[in-house]
Amino acid sequence: MENQKCSKKNHGDLKALSFCKDCNAYMCKQCEDFHCSFIKNHHLNRLVEDTNEIFTGFCTEGSHENKLEYFCINHNQLVCASCITKIKGKGNGQHSECCVCLIDDIKESKRNKLLENIKSLEDLSNTFQQSMNELKKIFNNINNNKDELKTNIQSIFIKIRNQLLSREEELLLEIDKIFNNIYFDESLVKKGEKLANQIEINISQGKITESDWSDDSKLKSNIYACINIENNIKDINEINQKIKRINSLEKEPKFISQDEINSYIENIKSFFKIVWINRHNYEDSLENNLKKSTIIENEEQIKYLKSWLPYPNKDNLKCKLIYHAKRDGDSAKTFHSLCDNKGATLTIIYTNNNKKIGGFLMKPFGGNKGSISDENAFLFSLNYNEKYPSVKGEGFSYNDQKSKGPIFGNTCIYISNNFLNNENNYYRPNTCRYDFGQRYKTDNKKINFTVLDLEVYQIFEY
């Protein structure tokens, strides 16, 4: 409950520890000691945080402060005269349209219902902690899901921002390259700005040199002056050629128009969206989806399958039918395209000799992986409701080949390509790495059968 202050005027900042129904007053420690010293027969209630408010007998709605003398049937609430007045406004009349009666009128009905309600509350309280644990688990899962969504969004937009920055740098470098190659760089302009003074100096020097070629001591400096004039001519011609080339260009570089920019910005505003996926259509409870199986006969078989699965909290299991031979076809290619890399799976097989067998794999089908160890794998028979664990703890070993259907153990159960209506499928108990028990023991090395139907369920844990 919210911290209640002491009712004494000069104790208004002190926390109340108790409430006296007779005095209609909240009391701090000092007031409580004084009250108890002089008054013995009043009803004093200790205030405890996180519990219901102490009942004072006065209305707490708005600023009524009237005695509670009526009962609102609609809201199952005690109310005062201001609550039921037809004159509304200033917090009055909240229950004026409700069905209201005197408190004495509902006394017997409340009294008669009390024992029943106490029994209901006791029953609910027995499972309340379990409900709270479930609520906390749901809350934590929701928070984890929220954090994961936020992290994914941030990760995606960091990549987008990094890519945009990288693209920006590429475009800026491209602009420099275009202007330097097609037009000219800044150094040429600066060189041209200095060229005017150099030309004037070099012309004057050249005229002096022209009349002074007879002096051999000045020959080198005269040649150097000639080279300077030649370089000036070359520089001027280069600038003129650049100007001519620029003036002859029909196109000039340009960034995309503002309309296109606005279009991109609008697209960015609608990047991605948060979508609610109906997970009950995608992954329903284990029992509900297995009830839809065309192979499983009854709920007892579902009960056995659920009990065999190696999960600590089996009530959190869900599943999805990811492959149904009669629906999807019986080619190995189709089987692997729908079942590979799907995590834990439950395969159920219906044979022509009315056998309903199958296997559970914690590790996924994957194709061409050779032997795989899976200590949680097992085979089963729904005819006898029996589970067949691995022999000597060898776990799960199989050749998961793309050209074949599901294979369990050392061909304990072997399903061929195009397995419906042919006899190339078999189980082989004698060389099996699972304990098939006496149900399937035989002197034959293998027992062939025709597959009439086959289902694969993806198993989820939540």
For 388-439, give the DSSP string: E-BGGG--------TTSS-EETTTTEE--TT-BT-S-EEE-GGG-SB--TTT
Of 67, 83, 107, the last residue of a domain is: 107
Q: Are 222 and 206 contacting, i.e. CB atoms less than 8 angstroms apart?
A: no
Segment holding 209, helix H or strand E? helix 186-210
179 within a domain of the structure (yes/no):
no
Q: CA 198, CA 228: separation in Å to the nearest integer?
A: 9
Do residue 262 and residue 289 come from a single domain?
Answer: no
Cβ neighbours of residue 171 closer than 8 Å, sequence gap 6 or more = none
Compute the residue count for the chain. Answer: 462
Give tens-digit pLDDT for 169-228. Answer: 999 998 888 887 777 667 777 777 888 888 888 888 878 777 777 777 778 888 888 898
Task: Please report which helix (H) or strand (E) contains residue 324, including its range.
Answer: strand 317-324
Cβ 332 vs Cβ 299: under 8 Å:
no
Q: How many CB atoms lie within 10 A of CB 406?
A: 24
In degrees, to the nearest 5, what angle opens at C-alpha 143 toward C-alphas 139 and 144? 115
For residues 336 and 395, state if they share a domain: yes
Report if residue 178 sits inside a domain.
no
User: Can you read off the two tokens belonging to residue 136?
Assistant: 């906390």
Residues 230 and 310 in one domain: no
Do 301 and 406 share a domain, yes or no?
Answer: yes
pLDDT in tens, 10-56: 887 888 888 887 788 888 888 988 888 788 777 777 776 544 556 77
Tell me: do 28 and 92 sit in the same domain: yes
Residue 228 within a domain: yes
**Within a domain: 142:** no
- Strand order through the sheet with 18-20: 25-27, 18-20, 44-46
- Both 214 and 354 in one domain: the answer is no
* 412 neighbors 424 (Cβ within 8 angstroms): no
Based on the fold, state whether residues 253 and 289 are members of the same structural domain.
no
- Which tokens go with 435? 């304990």
Closest CA to 17 of 44, 55, 52, 50: 44
Q: Which two tokens stand for residue 415?
A: 């399903």
Say if residue 218 is in the same domain as residue 359: no
**Domain endpoint, select from 107, 129, 148:** 107
Alpha carbon distance 462, 446 (integer Å): 39
User: Does residue 135 fall inside a structural domain?
Assistant: no
Statement to judge: residues 233 and 317 lie in one domain: no
Residues 285 and 258 in one domain: no
Give the CA angle between residues 87, 93, 97 to the nearest 5°: 100
pLDDT (tens place) for every residue of the chain, 462 residues total: 456 788 888 887 888 888 887 788 888 888 988 888 788 777 777 776 544 556 777 887 777 878 899 999 999 999 999 999 988 887 788 898 999 999 999 999 999 999 889 988 888 888 888 888 888 888 888 888 888 888 888 988 999 999 999 999 999 998 888 887 777 667 777 777 888 888 888 888 878 777 777 777 778 888 888 898 888 888 888 888 878 887 887 777 777 777 778 888 888 887 777 766 555 444 568 888 999 999 999 999 999 999 999 998 888 888 999 999 999 999 989 999 999 888 899 999 999 988 999 999 988 887 555 667 788 888 999 999 999 887 765 555 455 567 888 888 777 888 999 999 788 898 876 666 666 655 665 555 678 899 999 999 999 877
List the domain range (segments joined by +) for residue 64.
9-107
Could you give the number of structural domains in the chain? 3
Pair 221, 310 in one domain: no
